[in-house]
Structure 1
Amino acid sequence: MKNKAPPIAQSIARHLEELILDGTLAPEQKMPSERALATKLGVSRAIIREALHELHGRGIIETRHGKGSFVSSIVSQPEDSGPLMNLYFGHARTLYDLFEVREQLEGQAAFLAAERATEKDQYRITQAFEAMESADPLTNADLDHAFHRAITDAAHNPVLVHILNSLKNLMLYSVQASVLNLSHRTALKQQIDKHHRQIYHAIISRQAQWAQKAAMAHVRHVSDALRQIEQQEKNIIRSALANTDA
């Protein structure tokens, strides 16, 4: 018969579950060390080890050799080179399908982040925003994506985080398309920068409706601008990740 964790370890496991459910510990985030958890929760490392063992046994956390324990991802990541991913990257409509999804999900994420962001979340969003602002606009796709990811994490809705995380590479694909095609066009880039500032200030000032409106307007503007360019020039650079100029 399988041994159960002692009651106090079960209680600690339930506490850690709550931190995962409310988004304090986000999907794929590294768990604090046994020592840090023991100190914070006022129990022995042996108790922490039992609690982590229980969570691991139920698949809530996973251990990566030489790296530690991480919150599991409920939604499986599609393979970068898998046939379905190649199908998505190979079709022109995928980019605009992504923008339709991003508009709704990122609008909701911005709304919730404005309401729920902790001081630590706001600090991370600020750091991501400032890094994006100061970067070379032609090579800042990763920083742009990191800014939007920081907002999603601050929404403290793990279901939303899991969904967007499962689309991570496709989301980066759409951000790259934006950067590669729009960053060198002054008027379009100025509007994108304006939207980013609006999103940032709305979240930091906790104006949820404004944050949602700005986030949705931003994604819609990028999608519309790319469609217009594609119609006029018969071609856009879709993404370095996709290895195609379709």
Structure 2
Amino acid sequence: MPFQKIEAEKLSQAIVQQIELLVLRGILQPGERLPSERELSEKLGVSRPSLREAVAELHQRGLLISRPNAGIFVAEVLGSAFSPALIGLFSSHEEAVTDYVSFRRDMEGLAAERAARLGSATDLEVIATIFAKMELAHQKRDPSDEAELDASFHMAIIEASHNVVMLHMMRSMYELLRKGVFYNRQMMFKNRMTRDNLLDQHRAINLAIQARDTVAARAAVEAHMDFVQLSMADQIKANRNEAIAKLRLEHEQNK
């Protein structure tokens, strides 16, 4: 776990600040379990009373929660980004899909540009590692792993942009995507030709970021999101056509 020895006069406040920063920077993620009190106090180099005082304050602030017989967890703070009513609107109106992809195009284009310019060598290694996993998953018939790595790849780029506001905003957007609010991400990977195109696009993004080419990185993301938007529009049209065809078949069979 990414904890460091505490050296401060007010130990509990130093603990609070360190955990807050780990959450803010996206290192500790919503739902993640913290180490046991004994282990965490050892990692931080503080007494258990100081740790308990800090944890109590973080509980009060809503950043940590306790689960009976399970431990202490980072609170699911992402859920507050969108109200249930708004999520319902997103899922029931097609224009939300177009706006979502367009929003991602703008934000992730900027994130890729920033990652190419500001990302550390380790940031870029994380992105490259995830892409390598995508290449391996691409060889499988089942697209599930590749579809999940797709989200991880894009989030790694956003993390490498080192903008905490963008990080948490986009994590919240991706959480809705994972829940299928906007569209079924795995559907895009079922067509072999589409999967090949998507892998090539992710390769172009990775290569541009690794080369620290800010212009190419942004252009590669924008080209990728344009492809996603076109693919989603085609899928929506295909679904409508299929619904109409079924009505025609039913009508013909009942003549």
1:226 aligns with 2:232: yes
In the alignment, what sits opposite 1:155?
A: 161
In the alignment, what sits opposite 1:165?
A: 171
1:24-63 correspondence to structure 2 within 5 Å: 24-63=27-66
In the alignment, what sits opposite 1:15?
A: 18
User: Scaled by the length of structure 1, what TM-score is found?
Assistant: 0.72
Bigger proportion of residues as helix: 2
Distance (whole Å) between structure 1 residues aligned to residue 158 and residue 220 of structure 2: 15
Q: CA RMSD in A?
A: 3.5
In the alignment, what sits opposite 2:106?
A: 104
In the alignment, what sits opposite 1:184?
A: 191
Give the superposition deviation at 1:223: 0.6
The worse-fitting range, judged by mean Cα deviation, of 56-65 and 214-223 is 56-65
Q: Do the aligned residues in 2 keep the contact of 1:125 with 1:151 (CA within 8 Å)?
A: yes
* Number of residue pairs the alignment of both structures matches: 228
User: Scaled by the length of structure 2, what TM-score is found?
Assistant: 0.70
Task: Give the match's secondary structure for 2:80.
Answer: coil
Give the superposition deviation at 1:164: 2.1
Change over 3 Å in CA distance of 1:215–1:156 after alignment to 2: same
Percent of residue pairs bearing the same amino acid type:
32
1:142 aligns with 2:148: yes
The worse-fitting range, judged by mean Cα deviation, of 209-218 and 170-179 is 170-179
Give the superposition deviation at 1:234: 5.0
Give the superposition deviation at 1:118: 6.1
- 1:138-157 deviation digits (Å, cap 9, x = unpaired): 43322322222333333343
The worse-fitting range, judged by mean Cα deviation, of 126-135 and 49-58 is 126-135
The worse-fitting range, judged by mean Cα deviation, of 101-110 and 64-73 is 64-73
Change over 3 Å in CA distance of 1:8–1:233 after alignment to 2: closer
- 1:189-239 deviation digits (Å, cap 9, x = unpaired): 4332121012223334444443333222211221123335655885589xx
In the alignment, what sits opposite 2:119?
A: 116
Q: Do the aligned residues in 2 keep the contact of 1:103 with 1:216 (CA within 8 Å)?
A: yes
- 1:56-79 deviation digits (Å, cap 9, x = unpaired): 222232334415321551551658
Distance (whole Å) between structure 2 residues aligned to residue 219 and residue 236 of structure 1: 25
Larger Rg, first or second structure (1 or 2): 2
Gaps of 5+ in 1: 1-5, 238-246
Q: Do the aligned residues in 2 keep the contact of 1:64 with 1:70 (CA within 8 Å)?
A: no
Distance (whole Å) between structure 1 residues aligned to residue 40 and residue 213 of structure 2: 34
Task: Give the match's secondary structure for 2:151.
Answer: helix
Distance (whole Å) between structure 2 residues aligned to residue 30 and residue 208 of structure 1: 36
1:85-96 correspondence to structure 2 within 5 Å: 85-96=87-98
Q: Do the aligned residues in 1 keep the contact of 2:28 with 2:74 (CA within 8 Å)?
A: no
Task: Give the match's secondary structure for 2:103.
Answer: helix
